[in-house]
C-alpha cells in the first residue's frame, strides 16, 4: 500500500524537527532510520545512515580542511573587495574630477548596499538548490565585475559596477556559514570554525588599504583592482573542486539516481516535499527576517549593536587617513599598515574565545546550571568585548595629537579588534542558540542591518571629524557605544523573560514539544512492531497525526 500524502508530510515534519532537536542543520544530519515493508509499490523517504560516507558529516578531516580553506579564501575576496578603494579614493576622485567629499566615499558605500541586498537572495537559494553551483556562479560574476572595476571608463560606471560587485560578493558571507554547518556535526568544532569565519571577514578589509595605499601613488589606483583580480583568479582554482555540502540536496540527488536506474522505485527525499512556490518563498521565508527585526526585541537590539560596531569599523577607512596622514603625515601605504594593529587585536581575541570555550565545555560536562541558559553560554564574551570597544574609541580620539607619538593612538586598534570580535562572536552565536531553526532568519536580519548602517554612517565620517575634531568625533562614537554595550548585560538579566514573550520562541517551544511526542510515539510503535533496522533501504517514520499543521512564523 502506498504512503499517503498526509503521511509523507508527517514524516517530513518529523525529519526536520528531529534535526532541530539535535540543533543540527536540516538535511545534513544522520537520522534514525526505520525499515519499511518490501512491497515494490511503497513510497520510501530517504534518510542518512549513521555511517553513510556521502553524508558531509562523515567526510575525512582532510576533505573538510580543504573545504574550509577554500571558503576562507572566498571570504577574503569578498571582504577585501569592500575596502579595496579606501586609500585610493583621492586618486580615483582626481581622475574623474570628483570634488564632493560625500561622493568620494561612495565606492565603498555602494558595495555595502550590495551586501544588504545579496544575503536575502543567496541564503534561501543555497538552501533550496545547493551550495556549490550558487557559490561558483556568484564568484565568477564577482570576478568579472572586479575586472570591470579595473577597466571602468567613468565615475558613474564605476559606482554601478561596484554595486553589482557587492551583490555577488555577499554570496560567500551568506553561504559559508551554511557550509560550515553542513560539515561540522560537533557543536564545538562548528563554533571554532565559525570563529575562524568571523576573523576572516575582518582580515580582508584590513589588507585592502595596504594594497591600495601602495598601488595608488606609484603604479596607479587601477592596479589595486588588478591585484584583487589576480587573487580572485587564484581562488577559482580550488573553488572548482568544492563539493556540494547541502545534505538535503545530496539526498535529493540520491533519490533521483535511484529512480533513474529503477523507474518502478517509489523513492523520495525529504527535500522534494518542501518545494515552495514563489509566493510562499516571499511571504514566509524572505519576509521572516523583516518581521523578526521589527517584532523581536532580542533581534532588533542585537542588530542595532552589531550594526553600530560594524559601521564604526568601516568608518575607520575614512578616519584613519584623517588621523595618521593628516596629523602625523604618514604616506597612504604607511597609513594602510596601521590597520594591521586592528588585525592583531582580532587575533588576540582568539585565545580569549578558546579559553572561554574550554571553560564552557568543562562546565557543560559537569552539567553546571548556568550552562543551560543561552544567555549565560554566549553573552559573557560580549560583556568583555563591549567595554574594550568603548575604551579603544576614547583612546584613539584623545591621544591623536601632534605632541603624542603616532604609535600611541595606533595601539588603540588592539582593544578595538578584541572588542569587535568578542561582540560579534557572542551576539551572533546567541541569536543562533536563542532561535535555533529560525537562526538563519535572525542572522540574515543582523547581516542586512549592519551592512545598511555601514553604508550610511561612513558618509558622515568626514563632516563629523571636520566639525567635531578627532577627539570630539571619537568621543561621540564612544559614548553611543557605551550606551549600547549594556545590551548583553540586560540580556543576561532579563533574557529568559524576553524569550518567554517572544512569538518565535513560543513557536519553537511548541515544535519541540510536538517533536518529543512524535519521537516517543515512534519509539513505542517500533518496540511494538519489532521491526529490524538493517535493510539497505530506509524510510523516516510517518506518525499518524491528525492535527492541523501549525501556521509558519
Structure confidence by residue, pLDDT tens digits, 222-247: 999 999 999 999 999 999 999 998 88
Q: What is the pLDDT of residue 523?
A: 66
Give the Cα separation of 304 and 228 in Å (integer): 31
Q: How high does pLDDT run on average in the chain? A: 81
The pLDDT of 51-79, averaged and rounded, is 91
- pLDDT at position 158: 96
522 vs 157, residue with greater confidence: 157
The sign of the CA dihedral 387, 390, 394, 399 is: positive
Asked if pLDDT for residue 378 goes beyond 90, the answer is: no
Q: What is the pTM of this model?
A: 0.76
pLDDT digits (tens, 9 = 90+) for 1-26: 444 444 444 444 444 444 444 333 33
Start and end residues for every CATH 1.20.1250.20 domain found in the chain: 65-197+211-241, 290-513
Range 246-273 average pLDDT: 76
Residue 286 has a pLDDT of: 65
C-alpha distances (whole Å) from 420 to each of 119, 387, 388, 459, 468 are 22, 10, 8, 21, 24
Split at pLDDT 50, 70, 90, the class of 345 is very high
Q: Which residue has the higher pLDDT, 83 or 513?
A: 83
* The predicted structure's pLDDT at residue 265: 66
What is the CATH superfamily name and number for domain 65-197+211-241?
Answer: MFS general substrate transporter like domains (1.20.1250.20)
Give yes or no for residue 75 having a pLDDT over 90: yes
pLDDT number for residue 136: 95
Q: What is the mean pLDDT of residues 106-119?
A: 89
Q: What is the pLDDT, as a whole number, of residue 364?
A: 80
pLDDT at position 320, please?
A: 93
The pLDDT, as a whole number, for residue 280 is 66
Q: Considering the domain 290-513, what is its CATH architecture? A: Up-down Bundle (1.20)
pLDDT at 38: 44
Fill in the DSSP letter of residue 242: P
Q: Quick check: 28 pLDDT over 70?
A: no
Q: Region 87-113: what's the mean pLDDT?
A: 89
* The pLDDT value given to residue 291: 80
For residue 160, what pLDDT is reported? 96
Q: Say if CB 499 and CB 379 are below 8 A apart.
A: no
Q: Which one has a higher pLDDT value, 36 or 295?
A: 295
Higher pLDDT, 516 or 141: 141
Give the pLDDT confidence score for residue 272 in this predicted structure: 62
Note whether 520 and 404 are within 8 A (CB).
no
DSSP 83-140: HTTGGGHHHHHHHTT---HHHHTHHHHHHHHHHHHHHHHHHHHHHHH-SHHHHHHHHH
Over residues 396-422, mean pLDDT: 95
User: pLDDT by residue (tens digit) across 125-143?
Assistant: 887 788 899 999 999 999 9
| Of 553, 436, 447, nearest in space to 503 by CA | 553
Instruction: Give the per-residue pLDDT at 7.
Output: 45
**pLDDT at residue 526 above 70?**
no
Q: Of 34-43, 124-133, 256-265, 461-470, give the lowest mean pLDDT range.
A: 34-43
> Mind listing the pLDDT tens digit for each residue in 437-493?
566 677 778 888 888 898 888 888 989 999 999 999 999 999 999 999 999 999 888
- Candidates 178, 173, 171; CA nearest to 122 is 171
Categorize the per-residue pLDDT at 418 as very low, low, confident or very high, splitting at 50, 70 and 90.
very high
How confident is the model at residue 11, as a pLDDT? 46
* Those residues with Cβ within 8 angstroms of residue 530's Cβ, 6 or more apart along the chain or in another chain: none
| Per-residue pLDDT at 5 | 45
DSSP string, 345-401: HHHHHHHHHHHHHHHHHHHHHTT-GGGGSHHHHHTHHHHHHHHHHHHHHHHHHHH-S
- For residue 516, pLDDT over 70 is answered with no
Q: pLDDT-derived band of residue 117, with 50, 70 and 90 as boundaries? A: confident
Amino acid at each position: 500500500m502506498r504512503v499517503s500524502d498526509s503521511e509523507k508530510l508527517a514524516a517530513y515534519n518529523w525529519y526536520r524537527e528531529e534535526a532541530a532537536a539535535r540543533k543540527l542543520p536540516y538535511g545534513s544530519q544522520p537520522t534514525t532510520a526505520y525499515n519499511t515493508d518490501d512491497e515494490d509499490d511503497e513510497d520510501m523517504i530517504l534518510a542518512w545512515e549513521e555511517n553513510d560516507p556521502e553524508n558531509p558529516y562523515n567526510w575525512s578531516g582532510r576533505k573538510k580542511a580543504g573545504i574550509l580553506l577554500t571558503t576562507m579564501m572566498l571570504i577574503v575576496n569578498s571582504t577585501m573587495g569592500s575596502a579595496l578603494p579606501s586609500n585610493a579614493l583621492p586618486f580615483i576622485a582626481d581622475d574623474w574630477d570628483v570634488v564632493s567629499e560625500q561622493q568620494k566615499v561612495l565606492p565603498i558605500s555602494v558595495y555595502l548596499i550590495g551586501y544588504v541586498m545579496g544575503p536575502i537572495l543567496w541564503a534561501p537559494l543555497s538552501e533550496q538548490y545547493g551550495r556549490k553551483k550558487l557559490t561558483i556562479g556568484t564568484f565568477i560574476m564577482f570576478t568579472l565585475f572586479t575586472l570591470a572595476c579595473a577597466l571602468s571608463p567613468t565615475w558613474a560606471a564605476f559606482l554601478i559596477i561596484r554595486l553589482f560587485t557587492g551583490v555577488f560578493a555577499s554570496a560567500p558571507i551568506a553561504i559559508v556559514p551554511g557550509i560550515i554547518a553542513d560539515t561540522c556535526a560537533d557543536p564545538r568544532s562548528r563554533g571554532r570554525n565559525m570563529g575562524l569565519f568571523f576573523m576572516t571577514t575582518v582580515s580582508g578589509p584590513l589588507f585592502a588599504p595596504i594594497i591600495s595605499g601602495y598601488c595608488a601613488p606609484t603604479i596607479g589606483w587601477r592596479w589595486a583592482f588588478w591585484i584583487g583580480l589576480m587573487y580572485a583568479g587564484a581562488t577559482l582554482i580550488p573553488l572548482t573542486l568544492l563539493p556540494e555540502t547541502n545534505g538535503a540536496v545530496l539526498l535529493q540527488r540520491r533519490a533521483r539516481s535511484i529512480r533513474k536506474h529503477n523507474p518502478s522505485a517509489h523513492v523520495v527525499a525529504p527535500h522534494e516535499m518542501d518545494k515552495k512556490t514563489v509566493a510562499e518563498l516571499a511571504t514566509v521565508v524572505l519576509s521572516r527576517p523583516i518581521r523578526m527585526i521589527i517584532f523581536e526585541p532580542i533581534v532588533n537590539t542585537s542588530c542595532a549593536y552589531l550594526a553600530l560596531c560594524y559601521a564604526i569599523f568601516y568608518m575607520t577607512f575614512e578616519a584613519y587617513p584623517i588621523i595618521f596622514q593628516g596629523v602625523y603625515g604618514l604616506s597612504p601605504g604607511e597609513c594602510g599598515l596601521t590597520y594591521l594593529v586592528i588585525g592583531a587585536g582580532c587575533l588576540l581575541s582568539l585565545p580569549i574565545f578558546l579559553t572561554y570555550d574550554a571553560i564552557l565545555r568543562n562546565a557543560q560536562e559537569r552539567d553546571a546550571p548556568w550552562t543551560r541558559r543561552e544567555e549565560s553560554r554566549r553573552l559573557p564574551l560580549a560583556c568583555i568585548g563591549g567595554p574594550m570597544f568603548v575604551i579603544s574609541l576614547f583612546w584613539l580620539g584623545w591621544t591623536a595629537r601632534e605632541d603624542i607619538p603616532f604609535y600611541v593612538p595606533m595601539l588603540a586598534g588592539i582593544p578595538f579588534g578584541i572588542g569587535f570580535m568578542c561582540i560579534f562572536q557572542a551576539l551572533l552565536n546567541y541569536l543562533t542558540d536563542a532561535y535555533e531553526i529560525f537562526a538563519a532568519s535572525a542572522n540574515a536580519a543582523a547581516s542586512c542591518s549592519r551592512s545598511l548602517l555601514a553604508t550610511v554612517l561612513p558618509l558622515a565620517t568626514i563632516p563629523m571629524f571636520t566639525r567635531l575634531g578627532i577627539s570630539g568625533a571619537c568621543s561621540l562614537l564612544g559614548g553611543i557605544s557605551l550606551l549600547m554595550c549594556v545590551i548583553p548585560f540586560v540580556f543576561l538579566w532579563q533574557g529568559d523573560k524576553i524569550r518567554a514573550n517572544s512569538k518565535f520562541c513560543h513557536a519553537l517551544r511548541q515544535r519541540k514539544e510536538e517533536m518529543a511526542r512524535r519521537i516517543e510515539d515512534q519509539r513505542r510503535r517500533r518496540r511494538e512492531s519489532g521491526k529490524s533496522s538493517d535493510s539497505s533501504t530506509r524510510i523516516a517514520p510517518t506518525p499518524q497525526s491528525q492535527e492541523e499543521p501549525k501556521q509558519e512564523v
